[in-house]
Amino acid sequence: MKNSMKISASIMAMLFVITGFCFGQEKATKKQEKVIKVTGVSTTTKDEAIEVVGFPLEQNKDRIELKRNRVLNFKNASKKSEVIINVTSDQNWLDLRIESNFNTGSVLVEIIDPDGVKIGTYTVKTDEPVELGENTTTTEYVNAKFGKDFRYPKKGEWIVRALPTSATGWIALDFTQAYYPGLNR
């Protein structure tokens, strides 16, 4: 048993000598990538600095999720509606889920980031003609679902915009803002 402990200790010591080691962390750059200069014994004849590129360790921050729901109801509507989502530096994840259900008209839904760039869009229309027989009636519902998620979303005001045209129906927005430790890995 003593021999196996001595062998294990010797192997660990050799690994430290060959690879060098460092305890520490530097502040991450915008891309969440960092460079650490590690000084240790290298396999060459003299000591030299080694660059290690990786991601910072996220410590002392717990996982948290904030989920919200918003329903927009339209009754023969033709004016735009907007829902604003404020993303802060406390979050590293944004998940948007949008469901639409209309029985008349059409609606264009857009997702706009804090820079004003449209990064998601879809249209729901109920304009399809229907040929009805004698003593026949019809009711049409068009349902659409759309989802998009963002790792390290831009900070600021995100907008979900609905542009209806003579629309009757609803749009349900479900969004999750979260901080997930270890998202980099």
Strand partners, 96: 148, 175
Same domain, 86 and 139: yes
59 domain residue, yes or no? no
9-51 pLDDT tens trace? 555 555 444 444 444 444 444 444 444 444 444 444 455 555 5
Q: What is the pLDDT of residues 137-167, one digit of tens each?
A: 878 888 999 999 999 999 999 999 999 999 9
Residues 79 and 45 in one domain: no
Same domain, 27 and 110: no
* Domain hosting residue 127, numbered range: 64-179
Within a domain: 185: no
Regarding whether 147 and 95 lie in a shared domain, the answer is yes
- Among 54, 79, 98, the domain-final residue is 54
Q: Check whether 58 has a pLDDT greater than 60.
A: no
The 3 state secondary structure assigned to the chain is CHHHHHHHHHHHHHHHHHHCCCCCCCCCCCCCCEEEEEEECCCCCCCEEEEEEECCCCCCCCCEEEEEEEEEEEEEECCCEEEEEEECCCCCEEEEEEEEEEEEEEEEEEEECCCCCEEEEEEEECCCCCCCCCCCCCCCCEEEEEEEEEECCCCEEEEEEEEEEEEEEEEEEEEEEEECCCCCC
The reply to whether 74 and 42 lie within a common domain is no
Question: What are the tokens at 176?
Answer: 């999750």
User: Does any domain span residue 167?
Assistant: yes
Q: Which of 54, 76, 98 is the last residue of a domain?
A: 54
Model confidence band, residue 116 (pLDDT cutoffs 50, 70, 90): very high
Do residue 35 and residue 98 come from a single domain?
A: no
The predicted pLDDT at position 176 comes to 94
Task: Check whether residue 41 and residue 80 sit in a common domain.
Answer: no
32 and 101 share a domain? no
d(CA 153, CA 149): 9
pLDDT value of position 79: 96
Domain match, 34 and 69 both: no
Residue 61 has pLDDT above 70, yes or no: yes
pLDDT digits (tens, 9 = 90+) for 74-108: 999 999 999 999 999 889 999 999 999 999 899 99
Residue 184 placed within a domain:
no
The total number of structural domains in the chain stands at: 2
- Is 112 part of any domain? yes
pLDDT at position 145 is 93
Checking phi first, is residue 12 left (phi over 0); if not, alpha (psi -120 to 50) or beta? alpha
Evaluate if residue 55 carries a pLDDT over 80.
Answer: no
Overall average pLDDT of the 170-177 stretch: 95
**Which pLDDT does position 133 carry in this prediction?**
83
pLDDT at position 41: 47
Q: Give me the CATH number covering residue 135.
A: 2.60.120.380
